[in-house]
Structure 1
C-alpha cells in the first residue's frame, strides 16, 4: 500500500505528460463512495488501470493475471500496488502447472480477498475480458466480475450497497506519445437489484449481470468488427475528420468518439448494402495515402483551406522561438527518445508499448533533469538560485520544443508542396478531390438510408 500511495502522484504527473488529453465523461460516477466494483475493457495492459486509478481519491485493488507475479521483483511491485492475482488456465502450462482444482482454490482465495475489500467499503477494479489485446473490440466477458459482486452482496443478504460502474476506455492512438484517451463512464449498476434472480439460480444471475455489464461497455466503446474495417475507419477519420465533422467541439473528445462510432457503423452498413461504393472508396483512399507517403507529406499540407497563420507575429514566433526550441530540444532529446526506443525493442506487442514508454519515461526524465541540473551547478552557475531556475525551465522548454517542431514541420511540408512539379501536385489534388467526392456521396447515401 505504501508503494501505491507514493507512486500514485508520480503516475498522475506521468499520464498528464504522456497523453495530450485524458478526458473523463461523467467523472462523478467514478468518485462515488464504495463499496464499488469497476469493470473496464482491456486494450492497453498496464495503462488501463492507471488511467482510471488516478481519477479516484480512494485506493483501488486491481485483479491482475497471475503471470505478473511470477517474477519476484515485479510480483513485489504488483502486491505493493494493491494487486490481487487471478489464475487462468491458459497461463498454467508445463510439468509443474497446477491442477484445475488448485487453480480453482487459488481463485477462490483471490475472490475472498475481493469480498473482504468490498465489505470494508473499498473499490476493486476488474477487466472481465480476461486478457488484453490492442484492438477496438470488446471480447466475450468472463463471469468473474458478476460472481464477485453477487457473492459479496449475498454474504450480507444484499444489503451491503455494492454498485458496479463500467468504464469504456477509448484510446485514439494507443502507442503514440501525446495522443488522446477518453474514459466513458456508465451509470452505476445496483447489485441488490439481482437479489431475487440470485436466490432462484446464482449461475443465471451471474449470466444476467455479465450481460448487463457487456451492454453498458458496448454503448461506451468504439468497437470495430474486424481489422480491415477498423483500418479504413481510422484512415478516414485521421485524414478527413475535420471535413466530415466541421462542427467538432475542440473542448471535448466525445465528438471524436461519436465520429469513430459513426464511421464504423457506416462501413458495416455499406458492406451489406453498397459494397461497390465502399470498395471504390477504399481503393481511392489507399491510392491517395500511398501518394502522400511517396512525397513525404500529409493531407493537411495539401489542404489549402487549413493554412497556418500568416501574420507577422507567426513568423516572428518561428524566428525568435528558435533559440528556445534549440534549448528545449538539447535538454530533452535523450529522455524523450529513449522510452520509445526501449519500448519498441522490448516488445512487438502493441498492448505493452505505451505502458513501457510511460514507465521508462518516469525514470529517464527525472534522471536526465537531475544530471543536467548537477552539471549546470558544478560547471556553470555555482549559484543554487540560478540552478533552480534552470531546473524549473526544463519541462516547459521541452513542451515548447515539441509544439514548435510540430508547427515548423507543418510549414516545411507546405513549402515542400509548393515545390512539387506541377504534374505531381495536380495528381495529388485530383486524387484528394476524388476521395472527398466519394466521401460526400457516401455520407449523403448513409444519412438518407
Structure 2
C-alpha cells in the first residue's frame, strides 16, 4: 500500500481492491448511468473535468468509469496538514495544490506537484480536476478556475506538444444529492486537444488560459443541467422533474436517465428563448409552475405523483398487508445494520452544508459496514457455537438490508397514496384544482416544446 507521493502514479493492487469495494457500495447508494465512454479514444492522455455539486461524491463518481483505471486527483493543500491524513490521501491518489491562502511561502511546493503531475500524465494514469474549485448545491456551472488550464498547457508545452493531452468535459447530474438510491447520470463529453492553444500560450499565456477555460466551460455546460436563470431557478428545476416523465410516457421513449436529461436540456433552452421572444407567455408558465409547486408542496405531494388520481388507491389493498408482513424482516434488517445506518446519519448532521451529507454517510458506511458484519457474525458464532450459524447470519444480513430498503420504500408509497386519497376525500376542490393546474401547464409546455 503506497503512501509515497513519488510513486503515486503507479498502479496499486491495494487501491484497486478498495476501489472495487467502493464502486460496489457507491452504485448501491446512487443508481448510476454512464453515457459517452465511446468518445474516449484509446492510447490518449486525458484530463477529466467534471462539474462540482456534491462534495466528495463527485470525485468518487469518476472512479466508476473504468474498473482498472486509477486516476490522480488534485485537492486543496490545507487538508494535507496532518501527517496521517496526508498518507491516507496519498494512498487514495490525491495530491495537494497550494494557494495564496495556504501561505505565500508554500507556493513553491507547487513546482514539485507540477513535476509529479507531468509524471502522472506521461504515465497515462489520467488526471481528474474539478475546475470550479469548490462545490455548490445547484444545477448551474460557475466560473471555472484557471488551474486546469495552467496545468494542461504547461505540461503540454514542457513536452513540446508530444503528449497530445485532451481535456474531457464531464457532466454529473443528481436527482437528489443525499437520498439513498437517488439517480446519478454521468455524461462524458467530446475530448478536445490542449495543443491547439499552444501557439497562443507561447505568445500570451493569459489569453491562452482564458480561451481554454471558455471552451471548457461551454463544453461542460453541454453535458450537465445548467439553469442560468437564477430568479426562476426553482420553477425551472420543478419543470425538469415534471415534464420529461410525461413526455417519455406519451412518446414511448426509453425510460433512461439520459433520455430525461435530453428532454430537460431542450426544455430549458426553449424556456430561455421564450423569455426573450415572448415574456408574457414565459411569465404565465413561471407563475403557473410556482403555484403548482406551492400547492403540491403544502400537501406533501411529489411531482412524480401528478396528475393525481384515485385509481391507484386500490393498490393500498395489497400494499398495507405486505407492509405489515415485511415489518419483522425490516426490523431484523434495521437491528443488523443499526451501526452503519445511525452513526453515518448522525455524523452527517454535524455538517451544515448538506452537500457533505452523502459524502459522510457513504464514507462512514464504507468503514463501518464490514466492521459491523465481522463483529456481529463473530458474536453469533460464539453464542450458537456454530460456524454454520455464523455463516448463515452473514448471508442473511444483506438480505435483511434489502428487506429494510423495500419496506421503507413501501412505507413512503403507502404514505403518499394515503395522502392523495385523503386530499381527494377531504379537499376535493383542491384535488381538482391541482390537476387542472397540472394539465394546463403541461399543455402550455408542449406548445412551446
Query: Structure 1 length normalisation: TM-score?
Result: 0.85
Name the CA distance, whole Å, in 2 between partners of 1:159 and 1:418: 67
Shift in Å, 1:416? 4.0
Which range moved further: 330-339 or 315-324? 315-324
Q: Secondary structure at the match of 2:187?
A: strand
Q: Is 1:113 aligned with 2:124?
A: no
In the other structure, the counterpart of 1:260 is: 264
In the other structure, the counterpart of 1:27 is: 37
What does 1:336-415 correspond to in 2, within 5 Å? 336-344=341-349, 346-379=350-383, 381-415=384-418
Unmatched tracts of structure 1, length 5 or more: 93-97
In the other structure, the counterpart of 2:160 is: 157
Name the CA distance, whole Å, in 2 between partners of 1:226 and 1:440: 22
Name the CA distance, whole Å, in 1 between partners of 2:53 and 2:136: 5
Whether the 8 Å contact between 1:130 and 1:142 is mirrored in structure 2 is: yes
Q: Secondary structure at the match of 1:304?
A: coil
In the other structure, the counterpart of 1:10 is: 21
In the other structure, the counterpart of 1:331 is: 336
Q: Is 1:47 aligned with 2:21?
A: no
Shift in Å, 1:305? 8.0
Whether the 8 Å contact between 1:63 and 1:86 is mirrored in structure 2 is: yes
Query: Which of 168, 175, 179 is 2:182 aligned to?
Result: 179
What does 1:40-189 correspond to in 2, within 5 Å? 40-56=50-66, 57-89=68-100, 91-92=101-102, 98-99=103-104, 102-189=105-192
Q: Secondary structure at the match of 1:307?
A: helix
In structure 2, the CA distance between the partners of 1:248 and 1:59, relative to structure 1 (3 Å rule), is farther
Name the CA distance, whole Å, in 1 between partners of 2:119 and 2:126: 11
Name the CA distance, whole Å, in 1 between partners of 2:307 and 2:204: 63
Name the CA distance, whole Å, in 1 between partners of 2:135 and 2:299: 37
Shift in Å, 1:45? 2.2
In structure 2, the CA distance between the partners of 1:119 and 1:243, relative to structure 1 (3 Å rule), is closer
Q: Secondary structure at the match of 2:121?
A: helix
Name the CA distance, whole Å, in 2 between partners of 1:252 and 1:153: 38
In structure 2, the CA distance between the partners of 1:432 and 1:36, relative to structure 1 (3 Å rule), is same
Paired residues, number? 435
Name the CA distance, whole Å, in 2 between partners of 1:433 and 1:311: 25
Q: Secondary structure at the match of 1:39?
A: strand
In the other structure, the counterpart of 1:428 is: 431
Name the CA distance, whole Å, in 1 between partners of 2:400 and 2:41: 34
Whether the 8 Å contact between 1:136 and 1:224 is mirrored in structure 2 is: yes
Whether the 8 Å contact between 2:33 and 2:186 is mirrored in structure 1 is: yes
Shift in Å, 1:25? 0.8
In structure 2, the CA distance between the partners of 1:165 and 1:292, relative to structure 1 (3 Å rule), is closer
Name the CA distance, whole Å, in 1 between partners of 2:311 and 2:267: 23
Whether the 8 Å contact between 1:42 and 1:132 is mirrored in structure 2 is: yes
In structure 2, the CA distance between the partners of 1:435 and 1:141, relative to structure 1 (3 Å rule), is same
Which range moved further: 145-154 or 176-185? 145-154
Q: Secondary structure at the match of 1:168?
A: strand
Shift in Å, 1:211? 2.4
Shift in Å, 1:331? 2.6
Shift in Å, 1:66? 1.1
Q: Secondary structure at the match of 2:173?
A: strand
Q: Secondary structure at the match of 2:58?
A: helix
Shift in Å, 1:107? 2.5
In structure 2, the CA distance between the partners of 1:250 and 1:375, relative to structure 1 (3 Å rule), is farther
Shift in Å, 1:190? 2.5
Whether the 8 Å contact between 1:417 and 1:425 is mirrored in structure 2 is: no
Whether the 8 Å contact between 2:170 and 2:186 is mirrored in structure 1 is: yes
In structure 2, the CA distance between the partners of 1:377 and 1:235, relative to structure 1 (3 Å rule), is same
What does 1:273-312 correspond to in 2, within 5 Å? 273-298=277-302, 300=305, 303-304=308-309, 307=312, 310=315
Query: Structure 2 length normalisation: TM-score?
Result: 0.85
Q: Is 1:418 aligned with 2:421?
A: yes
Q: Secondary structure at the match of 2:74?
A: strand
Shift in Å, 1:202? 4.0
Superposition RMSD on alpha carbons, in Å? 3.1
Shift in Å, 1:124? 1.4
Shift in Å, 1:336? 2.5
Q: Secondary structure at the match of 1:140?
A: coil
Q: Secondary structure at the match of 1:133?
A: coil
Shift in Å, 1:229? 2.7
